[in-house]
């Protein structure tokens, strides 16, 4: 059909133009010829995105080792912002050290408590089918999707106006963070229970297990990957959390690292000791991620469909 279209002007135009006219469709045809060619543009774009998202972080880490007060001019290598001076180094200055300790304290206690309450809640609600359980499932999902600022505002008022025995500070932070994180283990455990189905427990019962034995020896081992993945997620979201701890911390002594970085940077203020603090946070998260990834691979070894991609996405809560 395209030949018919191009032939009409061909007769009227001189020879050179006629030749040029013929080249165009041929080239376009070759261009469309290989449908599985490498998408060079898309790949370049993806690399650009990755550079934009990761290089700033790398620069910030580098400047935490700067031998000077600048965060934009390199003045030589030094670890002075980590260790060496009582007033400047994050491991020695009491305010910075207190923030690091607060973050670790919150991360560990919230992870353990949330895991116990959340996993039990997930199993119980999943197996107990009633109007009440459906209602509580709904409440749990609502706590998962409610905007964090509104959630933190609610907690702020409950601790300042109603549960006045628990004043703002570490206890309020822990209670708030557990509530914010409870939906992680619950949702992940329920998804896993759905995937497992009832047949394994029935088989265990057929083979003479009691209810309790079936849960302890069959169900819990099968839930281990889900429990482990949620532990890593809870720990990571807790040490990164900002809004809840910002509203529930009472003074400098109960501020974790995220709040300290925020309150020291208002309006573009900065300094290498903040970079050092942020680098410590980064190391903590990356250690958690690595432990999570390796641990998850180890727990799911030999499982059908277990691979590195699955481990990566599960640990990120996808």
Partner 1 sequence: MSLSATEIAQAPKNRTEPAGRTRLTAGWALVALPGMLWLVFLFLVPLYAVLSVAGGHLNAVLSTPEPTWNPLQWEMTNYIDVYHLFVGPTAFVGPILLRTMIYVVIAAAISMAVAFPAAYFVARFAGRRKVLFLGLLIAPFWISFMMRMLSWIDLLQTNGYVNRVLMAVHLTSQPFDWLGGKSVTVILGLVYGYIPYLILVLYAGLDRIDQRLLEAGRDLGLSRFETFRKVTWPMARPAVITGLLITALPMIGDYFTNQMLSGSVSTSMIGNVVDAQLRTPSLQAQGAALAVCLLVVLLPAIAFYVWHAKRSGEMVL
**Contacting partner 1 within 13-42 (CB under 8 A):** 32, 35, 38-39, 42
Structure-token pair, residue 266: 């208002």
Instruction: Give the interface segment with partner 1, choosing from 18-26, 81-89, 90-98, 130-138 (CB under 8 A).
Output: 130-138
Instruction: Give the interface segment with partner 1, choosing from 5-13, 19-27, 56-64, 84-92 (CB under 8 A).
Output: 56-64
Shortest spacing between CB 286 and partner 1, in angstroms: 6
Number of residues that bind partner 1 (CB under 8 A): 114
Q: Of 90 and 178, which has the nearer Cβ to partner 1? A: 178
Q: Is 129 left (phi over 0), alpha (psi -120 to 50) or beta?
A: beta
- Judged by CB under 8 A, the residue of 12, 15, 27, 145 near partner 1 is 145
Separation in Å, CA 301 to CA 73, 226, 297 = 48, 14, 6
φ/ψ (deg, to 5) at 66:
-75, 140
DSSP tag of 66: B
Q: Of 87 and 164, which has the nearer Cβ to partner 1? A: 164
The answer to whether 183 and 141 have CB atoms below 8 angstroms apart is: yes
Q: Of 83 and 157, which has the nearer Cβ to partner 1? A: 157
Structure-token pair, residue 59: 């620069």
The contact pattern for partner 1, residues 76-115, with x = CB under 8 A and - = no contact, is ----------------------------------------
Instruction: Give the interface segment with partner 1, choosing from 2-10, 81-89, 94-102, 274-282 (CB under 8 A).
Output: 274-282
Question: Which of 99-102's residues contact partners 24+ apart within 8 Å by CB, and which partners?
Answer: 99/255, 99/256, 99/257, 99/259, 99/260, 99/277, 100/257, 100/277, 100/280, 102/170, 102/254, 102/255, 102/256, 102/257
Shortest spacing between CB 8 and partner 1, in angstroms: 26
């Amino acid at each position: 059909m395209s030949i018919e279209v191009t032939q009409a002007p061909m007769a009227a135009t001189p020879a050179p133009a006629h030749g040029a006219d013929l080249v165009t469709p041929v080239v376009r045809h070759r261009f469309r010829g290989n449908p599985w060619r490498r998408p060079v543009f898309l790949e370049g774009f993806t690399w650009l995105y990755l550079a934009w998202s990761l290089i700033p972080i790398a620069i910030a880490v580098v400047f935490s080792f700067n031998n000077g007060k600048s965060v934009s001019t390199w003045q030589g290598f030094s670890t002075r912002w980590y260790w060496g001076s009582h007033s400047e180094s994050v491991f020695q200055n009491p305010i910075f050290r207190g923030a690091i300790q607060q973050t670790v304290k919150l991360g560990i206690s919230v992870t353990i408590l949330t895991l116990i309450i959340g996993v039990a809640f997930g199993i119980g609600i999943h197996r107990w089918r009633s109007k009440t359980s459906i209602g509580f499932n709904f409440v749990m999902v609502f706590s998962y999707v409610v905007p964090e600022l509104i959630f933190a505002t609610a907690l702020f008022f409950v601790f300042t106006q109603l549960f006045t025995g628990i004043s703002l500070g570490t206890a309020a932070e822990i209670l708030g963070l557990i509530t914010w994180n409870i939906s992680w283990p619950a949702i992940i455990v329920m998804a896993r229970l759905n995937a497992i189905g009832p047949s394994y427990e029935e088989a265990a019962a057929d083979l003479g297990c009691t209810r309790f034995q079936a849960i302890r020896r069959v169900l819990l081992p099968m839930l281990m990957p889900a429990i482990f993945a949620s532990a890593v997620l809870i720990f990571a979201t807790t040490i990164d959390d900002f809004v809840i701890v910002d509203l529930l911390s009472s003074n400098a002594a109960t501020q974790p690292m995220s709040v300290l970085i925020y309150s020291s940077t208002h309006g573009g203020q900065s300094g290498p000791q903040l970079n050092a603090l942020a680098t410590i946070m980064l190391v903590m998260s990356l250690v958690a991620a690595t432990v999570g990834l390796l641990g998850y691979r180890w727990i799911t070894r030999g499982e059908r469909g277990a691979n590195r991609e699955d481990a990566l996405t599960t640990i990120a809560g996808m």
